[in-house]
Each structure stands twice: as C-alpha cells, then as structure tokens.
C-alpha cells in the first residue's frame, strides 16, 4: 500500500510504499483482546498477602488437655478457626503475567497497525526534527498535523508518536503532554496503540516496525 508522506507543516513531500502484510492485513479482534489482556495482567502488582498460622503471634501450646473437659479438642491458639488465628489457604504474592506465543503477539501488532491505516488515523512524516526542546512548539506541530485528519475531534484525540529513540528534542518536548505519548519502534505495543486515537510515525520508524513484524 502507498501512503502520503508529510512534513511537519502538513505539506505532502512524496509517497511511501508500505508492506501490505503489516499495514493492510485483516484486523483480528481476538488477537488484540488476547494480547491486551496479557499486557494488563503483567501490570498487576500481585502483592496481596495474608498470614497463615505460622505467621501470626501466639503460643503453640495446647490450650487444654485432650480429654475430660467436655470441649472440642484444640491444638493451637493460632488455628484458622480461632479468633486471632491465621488464615487458612493464605494469599501469597504472585505474578499474574502470561506471555502469548510470538506469532500471536506479532499478529496482534499487525492488526493494530492495520486498524490505524484502514481508519485513516495513520500519519507518516518525513522526519520529526524539532529545532528545540519546547512543549508548546510540539503541541502546535501536532495540531497542524492532526487538523486535516479525517474524523471528528481530531486535535483533541490522543496521539502516539513513533520515532527513533535518540530524538531527544521530541522525547523531552512530548513528556509534558498528557494526551500524547512517544515510543520508539521497539517499544510499540498493542495496548499503547489502542488507547490512542492517532498514530504518527516517521519513515524510518515505519520501516523499523515492518522489520520487527516480518523478521
């Protein structure tokens, strides 16, 4: 598929041939769901914990003799059924993380990228070279790029910007914009893609994403 390449003033500067296998594939919602669910599970702290009978304070001495008292036999003050005793089947810290197979992860990434392309929410720029580290300048640039994008509420939509990791001016300028995020091509993931409305990539980043999906 061919896409128009723009400069930062939203002027067309040429075209770029993108791989149909990455940018025009079928959008498989079940893969998106599986990978996003796994990513969110990885973010769960999993630090919940309760004390079992070995963790609570209290003597281990038998409370009274085994026979002759008319009471049910008791072995420890720390038993789970007693007030102040430990929990039965106590909770322990654990990881909720799962890792889908690589073909599932790559298939979901292709589906997400294709979704942006089909919905005309993808903008390819020649280069994202900013002259200075200034949030206001970047915000104006993003407004210019998004103002002519099809769809409603373009400028207010959240935007994911993808460029090389060493673009320091871009990285430093975008971090104060709560509705916009920067990622390098190797950091692009399905969860962050789907929580943004627009995707802006440079030509080099688009090629890097293709190489990542096709290797």
CA atoms of 72 and 154, how far apart (whole Å): 72
Residue 189 lies in a domain: yes
Q: What is the mean pLDDT of the chain?
A: 92
Residue 139 lies in a domain: yes
pLDDT band with cut points at 50, 70 and 90 for residue 150? low
What's the total number of domains in the chain? 1
**Which of these ranges, 30-44, 54-68, 102-116, has the smallest mean pLDDT?**
54-68
The residue range of the domain holding 17 is 2-45+101-214
Percent of the chain with pLDDT over 70: 96
Residue 183 lies in a domain: yes
pLDDT in tens, 64-111: 999 999 999 999 999 999 999 999 999 999 999 999 999 999 999 999
SS (H, E, C) the chain: CEEEEECCCCCEEEEEECCHHHHCCCCCHHHHHHHHHHHHHHCCCCCCCCCCCCCCCCCCCCCCCCCCCCCCCCCCCCCCCCCCCCCCCCCCCCCCCCCCCHHHHHHHHHHHHHHHHHCCCEEEECCCCCCCCCHHHHHHHHHHHHCCCCCCCCCCCCEEEECCCCCHHHHHHHCCCCCEEEECHHHCCHHHHHCCCEEEEEHHHHHHHHHHHHC
Residue 75 lies in a domain: no
Output the six-digit token pair for 113. Answer: 């990228």
Residue 50 lies in a domain: no
Identify the CA nearest to 170 among candidates 201, 207, 196: 201
CA atoms of 47 and 50, how far apart (whole Å): 10
List the end-to-end C-alpha distance of the chain, in Å, as a whole number: 19
CB neighbour list of residue 29: distance below 8 Å, 6 or more residues apart: 111
Residue 61 lies in a domain: no
Percent of the chain with pLDDT over 90: 91
pLDDT at 147: 81
Averaged pLDDT, 171-200:
95
Residue 62 lies in a domain: no
pLDDT at 155: 47
How are beta strands 12-17 and 2-6 bridged, if at all?
antiparallel
- Is residue 154 over pLDDT 50? no
pTM of the model: 0.82
pLDDT at 215: 81
Residue 134 lies in a domain: yes
The CATH number of whichever domain residue 141 belongs to comes to 3.40.1370.10
Q: Which residue has the higher pLDDT, 178 or 206?
A: 206
Averaged pLDDT, 150-158:
55
């Amino acid at each position: 598929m061919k896409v128009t390449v723009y400069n930062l003033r939203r002027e067309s500067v040429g075209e770029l041939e993108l791989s149909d296998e990455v940018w025009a594939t079928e959008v498989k919602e079940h893969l998106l769901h599986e990978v996003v669910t796994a990513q969110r599970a990885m973010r769960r702290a999993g630090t919940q914990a309760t004390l079992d009978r070995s963790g609570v304070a209290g003597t281990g001495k038998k409370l009274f003799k085994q026979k002759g008292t008319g009471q049910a036999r008791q072995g420890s003050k720390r038993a789970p059924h007693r007030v102040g005793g430990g929990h039965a089947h106590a909770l322990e810290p654990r990881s909720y993380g799962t890792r889908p197979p690589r073909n599932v992860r790559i298939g979901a990434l292709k589906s997400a990228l294709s979704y942006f392309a089909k919905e005309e929410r993808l903008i390819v720029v020649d280069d994202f070279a900013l002259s200075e580290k200034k949030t206001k300048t970047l915000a104006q640039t993003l407004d210019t790029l998004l103002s002519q994008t099809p769809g409603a509420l373009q400028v207010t939509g959240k935007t994911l910007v993808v460029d090389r990791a060493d673009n320091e001016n871009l990285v430093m300028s975008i971090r104060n914009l709560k509705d916009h995020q920067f990622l390098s091509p190797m950091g692009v993931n399905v969860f962050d893609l789907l929580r943004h409305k627009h995707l802006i990539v440079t030509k080099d980043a688009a090629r890097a994403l293709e190489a990542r999906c096709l290797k």
